[in-house]
Structure 1
Amino acid sequence: MNKYSIAEFIKNTEQEDKGEGFFELETPRMLEVNLNGQVWAKAGSMVAYNGAIKFEREGILENGLGGLFKMALTGEGASLMKANGDGKLYLADAGKKVIILHLQSEAIYVNGNDLLAFEPSIKHDIKLMRRVAGMMAGGLFNIRCEGTGMIAITTHYEPLTLRVTPGKPIVTDPNATVAWSGNLQPNFQTDISLKTFVGRGSGESIQMRFEGDGFVIVQPYEEVYMQTNN
């Protein structure tokens, strides 16, 4: 066990400007946003800030009537917030590892629970996985992020990226799937033998099958998604 004097502890853990720009990894599990304008973030992810920053939930009609329908259907659509102002904003999510990605006229799908923040230049759209909604508690939704700018995603422990190539599909557990390339559309399948082995109704009997040319990011952790009524 490490023992520090207060002065040593402050020196070893204090905030440090790295000059990396809008998004900085202050620690592997803490995102610093150098805010001068607006940023989208997961609701409840703010742990600290300085300066003049105001927060508001995503408007009920932010994405039009289609967005309103998805929010009602998933019960999770209001889990994004906007932070506006000038200052430093610190974001985290249950101690998960933070990864910054810079999109360059690209698209990526991120599991709704694993998207921490993104620049306002990134267009976002909530997608409900309807085919799996009746099979898993609370269903499962993802957010399509597209454009040029930075996004921050989170994973439990270190992620693994698997390449999907023609003729060589990748099959994943939905609870361990974090993100995938914007050109891929997963299909859902049920493994009858696995379902029989692990017990009826087990989440592991439902699988995501990715075919084509792209990538999928998985984590060494099976996350349980609970529907909320915000």
Structure 2
Amino acid sequence: MQGSLIDHYGPTPVFERMSKHGSKIAKVVMNPGQDLFARVGSMIAYEGLIDFNPQPPQLGRIASSWATGEGVPLMTATGQGLLYLADYGKEVIVAQLAGEGLSVNGKNILAFDAALQWNIERVRGVTMLSGMGMFNVVLRGHGWVALTAKGNPIVLDTREAPTFVDTDALVAYTDGLRVEPRRTARLGGLIGRGSGEAFQLGFSGQGFVVVQPSEDERPTMSLRG
């Protein structure tokens, strides 16, 4: 029985620093000197010797500077072995940055290499629509990042045509894209509908946008004044 279970559900071969096991687990190869920042509570298992330091001081500004009520506690993972991460059965997206930047909704961050540069930046265009700001975490440099999505995400190529997205379904986009707001209806006529039918963010340029098939559970966007 053990052999059959391992054959069907055992870990897949390791070829890169970060990969997926199935669609809902991120697998990270840990080595000394290659620290990882991960969402607190996302560790589901590990093989080897790996330590965790919850909320290191240098990450305090992530939790304190995000949208009200959306502080995301992070931890540092160090050591050697294989680390498995997940977030309540959400779909996992794994990407390698090769010098470019990625703007990510904080709720969708699962883990990223500590070697990446990061900053909290205002999403252009949202203030024009709402009078308030939406803030993302922008990751830049060379390294790996793992994101989550509620359902199987779609990645849209913004080179092909201007792409418009409901802000509540937006997971991430290439940093440097042109971002413009678009209003398509009056809010007063959309009672009972989501914000996406009223206004969207438009993206164009060289890059992509990641969208999840589920809007934010709250009635409004992740905003703060």
Q: Which TM-score band applies after superposition, normalised by the shorter structure?
A: 0.7 to 0.9
Distance 1:76 1:128, change over 3 A: farther
Change (3 A) 1:62 1:89: same
What letter corresponds to residue 174 of structure 2 in structure 1? S
Q: Distance in 1 between matches of 2:202 and 2:174?
A: 13
Query: How many Å apart are 1:7 and its aligned residue?
Result: 5.7
Which of 94, 104, 113 matches 2:107? Answer: 113
Q: What residue number does 1:170 align with?
A: 163
2:213 paired residue number: 220
Matches within 5 A, 1:80-95: 80-95=74-89
* 1:56-75 superposed matches below 5 A: 56-62=53-59, 70-71=65-66, 74-75=68-69
Q: Which residue of 2 aligns with 1:33?
A: 28
Q: Percent identity?
A: 31
1:11 matched to 2:7: yes
Secondary structure at the aligned position of 2:53 is classed as strand
Q: Is contact 2:185–2:199 with CA below 8 Å preserved after alignment?
A: no
Gaps of 5+ in 2: none
Residue 50 in 1 paired to residue 47 in 2? yes
53 and 208 in structure 1: CA distance in 2 versus 1, 3 angstrom threshold: same
CA distance, structure 2, for counterparts of residue 223 and residue 170 of structure 1: 19
| Paired AA for residue 45 in structure 1 | S
| Partner Cα distance (2:153, 2:58) in 1 | 34
Q: C-alpha separation between the residues in 1 aligned to 2:71 and 2:190? A: 32
Q: How many residues align?
A: 216
Distance 2:75 2:181 in 1: 30
- Alpha-carbon distance in 1 for matches of 2:142, 2:43: 24
Alpha-carbon RMSD:
3.3
Which residues of structure 1 form unaligned runs of 5+? none
> What's the TM-score once normalised by structure 1's chain length?
0.77
Could you tell me how far apart the structure 1 residues matched to 2:209 and 2:27 are? 26
